[in-house]
């Protein structure tokens, strides 16, 4: 009798589970039957990352206003949620957003993106997640995931091409121990092996520490190394500037995208050597007349009294991408399928193209500061 009861309970439990999944999926799809496109934006509005994400919220609020005017036919419902700066709060917020029928989730940092991805991956109906994130553990080739940050392969090629244009034959690379900089360094070193090959030596540093680069720099200077390459985050780069003065560094410096955050430190350091940086459209002053990038930035400056930082523009781009992907009738798998169909869109940072592999390609150039 007990065995029969246990068997009946087991059958009942399976039936309940199947019914729950069925009605969950049916309910979620039904929420989209009215054509509304639901977008959840998870930003850290409290905690250490709030100083960055609060600015991103300003950008997405403005982006939403502009999209409602430009695309009145698109029923866009946007909800900004505080990710709380902690994994447990982020997960709870993400689950609630997904249970409420969000088919597009936008996130503002790599840790937030990875936390949300842990529950969004494999979810049915499929969810599109667009992140202002650099960590290679998030994004393509994973279905429905898009990184809105410069791609490390594209950035590496931009620097390598400029080195060859300047006929540099040897470099020393200083890079921080974060996942993006690691991927960038690996791609860059691989490119330097092509003919004409460029000799390379490298040193990694902890971005939260104050490393001593002087022994490496002195050896490189004695060996007449042709250029210094800097891939990394600002704290370590700031320490580097003073040490370059200490060793009397004169060779050109080529910095990745993040070096744009420390140009002021370079100016204050008094270094006389050339400085080249990689720039995206989000960092440029001159924009095509009549472009959405120019109009958005003018509207942002008028409202907030400052120029929008490039990372905030990428966050606004994410909403424009969701709007481009969400056009037309909705369905259980529409979000991921429609995102795949988008090959180019014009956003607040400029024109962004999407490759067959799902990588968002920003327009990168090198610029000589002095």
What pLDDT is stored for residue 208 in this prediction? 76
Q: Is 93 domain-assigned? A: yes
> Do 185 and 241 share a structural domain?
yes
Read off the tokens for 322: 């969701």
> Do 229 and 324 share a structural domain?
no
> Do 63 and 1 share a structural domain?
no
What pLDDT is stored for residue 312 in this prediction? 95
Name the residue range of residue 112's domain. 34-149+288-364
Residue-wise pLDDT tens digits, 51-91 = 889 999 999 999 999 999 999 988 889 999 999 988 899 99
Using the 3D structure, point to which of 269, 284, 299 is the last residue of a domain. Answer: 284
Tell me the angle at which helices 292-304 and 50-70 cross, rounded to the nearest 10 degrees: 120
Read off the tokens for 122: 């494999």
Residue-wise pLDDT tens digits, 294-315 = 999 999 999 999 999 999 999 9
Does 122 have pLDDT greater than 90? no
> Do 97 and 156 share a structural domain?
no
Using the 3D structure, point to which of 284, 308, 339 is the last residue of a domain. Answer: 284
Q: What is the CATH number of the domain that holds 296?
A: 3.40.50.2300
> Do 351 and 253 share a structural domain?
no
Whole-number Å distance between alpha carbons of 90 and 104: 16
> Do 212 and 156 share a structural domain?
yes
Q: Is 276 domain-assigned? A: yes
What pLDDT is stored for residue 22 in this prediction? 31
> Do 270 and 194 share a structural domain?
yes
Whole-number Å distance between alpha carbons of 75 and 179: 37
What pLDDT is stored for residue 370 in this prediction? 73
Using the 3D structure, point to which of 251, 266, 284 is the last residue of a domain. Answer: 284
CB 2: neighbour CB atoms within 10 A? 6
Q: Is 98 domain-assigned? A: yes
> Do 102 and 204 share a structural domain?
no
SS3 sequence of the chain: CHHHHHHHHHHHHHHHHHHHHHHHHHHHHHCCCCCCEEEEEEECCCCCCHHHHHHHHHHHHHHHHHHHHHCCCCCEEEEEEECCCCHHHHHHHHHHHHHCCCCEEEECCHHHHHHHHHHHCCCCCCCEEEECCCCCCCCCCCCCEEECCCCHHHHHHHHHHHHHHCCCCEEEEEEECCHHHHHHHHHHHHHHCCCCCCEEEEEEECCCCCCCCHHHHHHHHHCCCCEEEEECCHHHHHHHHHHHHHHCCCCCEEECHHHHHHHHHHHHHCCCCCEEEEEEHHHCCCCCCCCHHHHHHHHHHHHHCCCCCHHHHHHHHHHHHHHHHCCCCCCCCHHHHHHHHCCEEEECCEEEEECCCCCEECCEEEEECC
> Do 275 and 248 share a structural domain?
yes
Confidence of residue 124 (pLDDT cuts 50, 70, 90): confident
Q: Mean per-residue pLDDT for 326-330?
A: 65
Read off the tokens for 150: 């410069």
What does the chain come to in residues? 370
Q: Is 369 domain-assigned? A: no
Omega before residue 161 within 30° of 0, cis: no
Residue-wise pLDDT tens digits, 338-366 = 999 999 999 999 999 999 999 999 999 99
What pLDDT is stored for residue 11 in this prediction? 38
CB-based contact 140:357 (threshold 8 Å): yes
Read off the tokens for 202: 């490298």
Residue-wise pLDDT tens digits, 36-55 = 889 999 999 998 889 889 99
> Do 83 and 22 share a structural domain?
no
Number of domains forming the structure of the chain: 3
Q: Is 41 domain-assigned? A: yes
pLDDT over 70, % of the chain = 88
User: What is the value of pTM for the model shown?
Assistant: 0.84
Per-chain mean pLDDT for the chain: 86
Q: Is 5 domain-assigned? A: yes
Whole-number Å distance between alpha carbons of 28 and 213: 55
What pLDDT is stored for residue 30 in this prediction? 31
Whole-number Å distance between alpha carbons of 197 and 29: 55
> Do 180 and 80 share a structural domain?
no
What pLDDT is stored for residue 314 in this prediction? 95
Whole-number Å distance between alpha carbons of 169 and 155: 19
Q: Mean per-residue pLDDT for 154-183?
A: 94
Separation in Å, CA 21 to CA 27, 91, 120, 305: 10, 20, 16, 49
Confidence of residue 332 (pLDDT cuts 50, 70, 90): low
> Do 202 and 176 share a structural domain?
yes
Read off the tokens for 302: 């008028």
Q: Is 370 domain-assigned? A: no
Does 252 have pLDDT greater than 90? yes
Burial of 326 (0-12, 13-18, 19+ CB in 10 A): buried
Cα-based torsion angle of the residue sequence 261, 267, 273, 278 in order, rounded to the nearest 10 degrees: 20
Cα-based torsion angle of the residue sequence 34, 37, 38, 44 in order, rounded to the nearest 10 degrees: -170
Omega before residue 125 within 30° of 0, cis: yes
């Amino acid at each position: 009798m007990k065995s029969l009861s246990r068997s009946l309970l087991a059958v009942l439990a399976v039936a309940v589970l199947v019914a729950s999944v069925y009605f969950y999926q049916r309910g979620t799809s039904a929420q989209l039957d009215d054509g509304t496109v639901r977008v959840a934006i998870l930003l850290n509005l409290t905690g250490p990352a709030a100083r960055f994400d609060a600015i991103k919220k300003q950008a997405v609020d403005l982006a939403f206003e502009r999209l409602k005017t430009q695309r009145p036919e698109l029923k866009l419902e946007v909800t900004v949620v505080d990710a709380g700066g902690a994994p447990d709060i982020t997960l709870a917020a993400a689950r609630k957003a997904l249970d409420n029928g969000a088919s597009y989730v936008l996130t503002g940092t790599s840790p937030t993106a990875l936390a949300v991805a842990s529950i969004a991956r494999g979810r049915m109906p499929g969810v599109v997640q667009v992140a202002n994130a650099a960590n290679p553990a998030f994004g393509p080739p994973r279905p429905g995931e898009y990184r809105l940050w410069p791609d490390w392969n594209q950035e590496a090629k931009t620097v390598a091409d400029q080195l060859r244009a300047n006929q540099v034959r040897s470099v020393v690379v200083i890079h921080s121990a974060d996942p993006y900089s690691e991927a960038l360094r690996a791609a860059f070193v691989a490119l330097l092996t092509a003919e004409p090959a460029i000799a390379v030596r490298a040193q990694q540093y902890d971005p939260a520490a104050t490393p001593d680069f002087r022994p490496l720099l002195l050896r490189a200077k004695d060996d007449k190394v042709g250029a210094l390459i800097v891939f990394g985050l600002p704290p370590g780069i700031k320490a580097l500037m003073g040490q370059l003065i200490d060793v009397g560094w004169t060779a050109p410096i080529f910095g990745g995208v993040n070096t744009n955050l420390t140009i002021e430190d370079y100016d204050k350091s008094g270094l006389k050597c050339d400085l080249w940086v990689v720039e995206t459209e989000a960092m440029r002053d001159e924009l095509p007349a009549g472009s959405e990038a120019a109009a958005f930035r003018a509207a942002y400056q008028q409202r907030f009294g400052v120029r929008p930082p490039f990372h905030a523009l990428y966050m606004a781009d994410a909403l424009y991408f969701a709007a481009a992907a969400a056009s037309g009738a909705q369905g259980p798998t529409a979000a991921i399928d429609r995102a795949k169909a988008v090959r180019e869109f014009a956003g607040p940072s400029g024109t962004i193209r999407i490759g067959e592999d799902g990588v968002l390609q920003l327009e990168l150039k090198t610029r000589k500061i002095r």
